[in-house]
Amino acid sequence: MNKFNRICIVGKYKSAEVQRPVSQIIEFLRSEGADCLVDDMTAQQLPGMNVEFGPIDDVVSRSDLVVVLGGDGTLLGLARTAAMHDVPLLGINLGRLGFLADISLNKMVASLRAVQRGEYITDDRAILEASADSEPENGIWALNDVSIGKGQSGSLIQMKVTIDGEFAYNLRSDGLVVSTPTGSTAYALSAGGPIIAPGVDCILLAPVCPHSLSNRPIVIPGTSKIEIELMEAIDAHVHIDSHTHLNIQQGGRLMIQVAAAKVRLVHSKEHDYFGTLREKLHWAGTMGS
């Protein structure tokens, strides 16, 4: 594998703690002969540093790799832009869990050195595309999930779920999470959904506090096309990876399917998916090892 020559560094917005590690990364990458770019917001955290910067879409589009410093939420915020330009992401964890941003701060330089020597693996992740029937041409991508939730009224939502044109079920609940395998360890997990390995070609639907306990999470093929009609939804809201929102009214329909694009993650060669699960979810990892 070739090393990356032009690297964009994005730090967690409005976080003073990113200044030092971003500066260290820029200094190291320059010593390796790489060109560095940062986005406008990250540049504000680097007073006095001579580094090329610009709007996030511009600097990502001109890069071979995006290095993200923050938590999984920061990486999720970059995922759509990176996928649009087919640029891989490498995450350095400054947050809590770090399922996606899986390189620790104390290993970031060693990991970047290995990456620049071609010692890394890549991991393509499926993303969902969601659109409302009012604006079917304006699809929005989600690496984790598309979630429908009740609003301030507190009223339950009644939904009609259709899969590949076939009626699946009516759901009366606080909400519904439609998730990729990547998102199965996020909101869908707290809603009682299963953990799904990232390479599985599927979509997960997990009800949130269903009125009927017989409404359970279901896993369907990744080729499926989902339509959700909001039968009763006074002030329901739709969140895309908790970063973007879709406006949809009672009687409106939401269409969800797997997008053609993917998000490519870069990991160190030591990356171990099940090891990450053991660490982050506090599983007992010693017995039988």
Phi-psi region of 47 (alpha: psi -120 to 50; beta: other; left: phi over 0): beta
Tokens 């400054």 correspond to 94
Q: Which residues of 30-52 are buried (b: 16+ CB within 10 A; e: fewer)?
A: eeeebbbbbbeebbebbeeeebe
Helix (H, G, I), strand (E, B) or coil at 259: strand
Q: What are the helix (H) ranges across the chain? A: 19-31, 40-43, 56-61, 72-84, 108-116, 187-190, 273-280
Q: Give the tokens for residue 152.
A: 């301030």
Q: Is 87 buried (19+), middle (13-18) or exposed (0-12) by CB count in 10 A?
A: buried
> Which residues have a Cβ under 8 Å from the Cβ of 110 and sit 6 or more positions away?
none
DSSP 16: G
- The residues annotated as belonging to the active site are 72
